Amino acid sequence: MSDAMTPASRLQPVLGLLSLPGQMRRLGGGPMIAALVLVLIVIAAIFAPLYIPHDPLTINATQRLKGPSEMFPLGTDAFGRDLFSRVVMGARVSLFIGVGAAVVSVALGLAIGLVSGFFRLADAIIMRFMDALMAIPSILLAIALVALNGPSLWSVIAAITLPEIPRVVRLVRSVVLSVREEPYVEAAISLGSSMPKILWQHLMPNTLAPLTVQGTYICASAILTEAILSFLGAGVSTEIPTWGNIMAEGRVYFQIKPSLIFWPGLMLSLCILSINLLGDTARDLLDPRLRKREG
């Protein structure tokens, strides 16, 4: 009965991540455009110092809240700083926060989740602690953490990361618990492989696909959370422009100069939209249950 080689079963998630771009082409325009937008934003951010017309930090009292001009392509903010330069430089920091939060929370969550899925005793304590951490509203926790450490870049990343960890831990743990019942894991036990080896070589790779998806969502939500923290006055110092704090500073002028929110908001939304779309695409491709439904 099982000798079937249906086309769907050939699309096993084996090299799922590697073959992603190829599969994406089948999915049509949306994800492709998203990928393109993201690549453009990243490139623009990386090479920002090479082409920005002004130092994003230089203030100029005589050029406050000016409209677009040759000198200031998008106008200036309330300190007379060049909005264009700030937005593209802000991309660097915002993306860094997004990627940083995603990488750190996924890495820590993976480690804790594997341990938790492995050691039954540690599991009880770790999961209680994770429950507690989940129960604390993440924005409040983040504000408190930023207040604790001062609004430096790293404390913002830490504040965004910490509330994400329990979700990653739960994800990893659930994968570990379900995969450890798989026959090939039991076969590995029978072959005398040690538990750490099984965890790392057999179980961990199974978490990579869902973690990639989760990572994209964390990345997107971190960028957004940073903006909200800035809005609430607990964000990164304006010495380091981020989309969040550009908007937070600009929101006071929303009615007289909407571009202060519009441009960083547009970039942020485009960026998050792209990341989320790619995350969705990855999930659709990597989730065998959904694929089964595609027939």
Partner 1 sequence: MLGYILKRLLAVVPVIVFVAIFVFLLLRLTPGDPAAIIAGDAATPAQLEKIRASLGLSEPILVQFATWIGHLVRGDLGISLISNIPVTELIGQRIWPTINIALLTICLSVLIAVPMGVIAAWKHRTWADYAVMTFSVLGFSVPVFVIGYIFIQVFSIQLRWLPVQGYTAPGDDFGKFLSRAILPCLTLATIYVALIARMTRASMLEVLGEDFIRTARAKGVGETLVLFRHALRNAAVPILTIIGTGFALLISGVVVTESVFNIPGIGRLTVDAILARDYPVIQAMILLTSAIYVFINLMIDVAYSLIDPRIRY
Partner 2 sequence: MLFKTKSFDDAPVVLSIEDLTVRLSGVNDTVRPVLDRISFQIRAGETVCLVGESGSGKSVTSLATMGLLPKGALEVSNGRIMLGETNLLSLSAGQMRDMRARNLSMVFQEPMTALNPVMRVGAQIEEVLDTHMRLSKKEKKARVLDIMEQVHLPDVERIYRSFPHQLSGGQRQRIMIAMALILEPKLLIADEPTTALDVTTQRQILSLIAELQEKHGTAVLFITHDMGVVAEIADTVQVMKHGELVERAPVETLLRNPQEDYTKSLLRAVPSLTPRPERVSKPPKGGPALSVEDLNKTYGSSGWFVNRSTTLAARDVSFDIPAGRTLGIVGESGSGKSTVARCIMRLIDPTEGSVRVAGTEIARLSRADLRPHRKHIQIVFQDPFRSLNPRWTVGRSLVEGPLNLGQDKASAMARARELMALVGLPEDAVDRYPHQFSGGQRQRIAIARAIAMEPDVLVADEAVSALDVSVQAQVLDLLDELQQKLGIAILFITHDLRVAAQICDEVIVMQKGRVVEHGKAGAVLADPQHPYTRSLIEAAPGRAWDFANFRELGALAAQ
Partner 3 sequence: MLSFKDSLREKAAWLRGGRTLQAGLIAGALLSGTGLATPSFAEEKVVTAVMHSGLRVIDPVITTAHIVRNHAYMIYDVLVAVDETFKPQPQMASWEISEDKKTYTFTLRDGLKFHDGAPVTSADAVASLKRWGVKDSGGQLIFDVTESLEPKDDKVFVWTLKEPYAPLIDTIAKMSALPPFIMPAAVAATPATESITSFIGSGPFKFVEAEYQPGVSVTYVKNEDYVPRSEPASWMAGGKVVNVDKVKWVTMPDSQTTINALLSGEVDYMEQVPVDLLPILEGSDDVVAEVRDPLGYQTIGRMNFLYPPFDNVKVRKAALMALSQEDVLGTLIGNPDYYKVCGAVFGCGTPLEDEAGAETLINGGDLEGAKKALAESGYDGTPVVLMQPTDVPTISAQPIVAAQALREAGFNVDMQAMDWQTLVGRRASQAKPAEGGWNLFFTNWGVPEINTPLINPMLNGRGNDAWFGWPTDEKLEALRKDFIAAETADDQATVAKQIQAHALDVVNYIPLGQYLSPQARTTKLVDMIGSPVPVFWNLKKED
Binding residues for partner 2 (CB under 8 A):
1-7, 9-10, 12-14, 182-184, 186-195, 202, 205, 294-295
Q: Smallest gap, in angstroms, from Cβ of residue 242 to partner 3?
A: 12
Instruction: Name the binder of 69 from partner 2, partner 3, partner 1, none, CB < 5-8 A by kind.
Output: none
Q: Smallest gap, in angstroms, from Cβ of residue 49 to partner 3?
A: 19
SS3 82: strand
Q: At what angle do helices 153-179 and 204-231 cross, to 10 degrees?
A: 150
CB of 60 or CB of 276, closer to partner 1: 276
Q: What letter does residue 201 receive in the DSSP assignment?
A: I
CA–centroid distance for 255 within its chain: 31
Q: Environment class of residue 234 by beta-carbon count within 10 Å: exposed (0-12), middle (13-18) or buried (19+)?
A: buried
Q: Smallest gap, in angstroms, from Cβ of residue 72 to partner 1?
A: 22
CB of 13 or CB of 73, closer to partner 2: 13
Whether the CB-CB separation of 169 and 162 falls below 8 Å is answered with: no
Residues lying near partner 1 in the complex (CB under 8 A): 30, 128-129, 131-141, 143-145, 147-148, 150, 220-221, 224, 227-228, 231-233, 247, 251, 254-255, 261, 265, 268-270, 272-273, 276-277, 280, 289-290, 292-293
Nearby residues of 222 by Cβ (< 8 Å), 6 or more positions away? 97, 98, 100, 101, 102, 157, 160, 161, 164
Nearby residues of 197 by Cβ (< 8 Å), 6 or more positions away? none
Phi first, then psi, for residue 181 (nearest 5°) are -85, -10
Instruction: Name the binder of 96 from partner 2, partner 1, partner 3, none, CB < 5-8 A by kind.
Output: none
For tokens 């991309």, the residue is 91
Q: Smallest gap, in angstroms, from Cβ of residue 79 to partner 3?
A: 5
Q: Smallest gap, in angstroms, from Cβ of residue 211 to partner 2?
A: 14
Residues lying near partner 3 in the complex (CB under 8 A): 57-59, 61-62, 64-65, 78-80, 147, 150-152, 233-239, 245, 251-256
CB of 39 or CB of 147, closer to partner 3: 147
The span from the first CA to the last CA of the chain, in angstroms, equals 17
Instruction: Name the binder of 211 from partner 3, partner 2, partner 1, none, CB < 5-8 A by kind.
Output: none
- Tell me how far apart the alpha carbons of residues 251 and 230 are, in angstroms, rounded to a whole number: 11
Instruction: Name the binder of 228 from partner 1, partner 3, partner 2, none, CB < 5-8 A by kind.
Output: partner 1
